Amino acid sequence: MKADLSMPTKAMTLRLPEDLAADLAAVAEADEVSIAEAIREAIDKHIAERRADEGFQERLKERLTRNRIALERLAE
């Protein structure tokens, strides 16, 4: 899935070991995409996998509840 770059974006810095950076550059070149696009695609895939993971969803719900309680307490 290509990211919608017509929406606001956020610049980020990513530090990688040299060998991983070289692998990433090779994959991006072979796929005929920019390194940034290859990274966005990998992040999109990772997030989709997490959304489909029941254990992750349960942990997410626990944290949402915990944060909601803390935010309500702070708002008092």
Would you place residue 67 in the very low, low, confident or very high pLDDT band (cuts 50, 70, 90)? very high
Q: How far apart are CA 38 and CA 48, in angstroms?
A: 15
Say if residue 42's pLDDT is above 90. yes
Instruction: Kindly state the percentage of the chain with pLDDT values over 70.
Output: 93
Phi/psi-derived region of residue 11, left when phi > 0, alpha when psi is between -120 and 50, beta in every other case: beta
**pLDDT value for 36:** 96
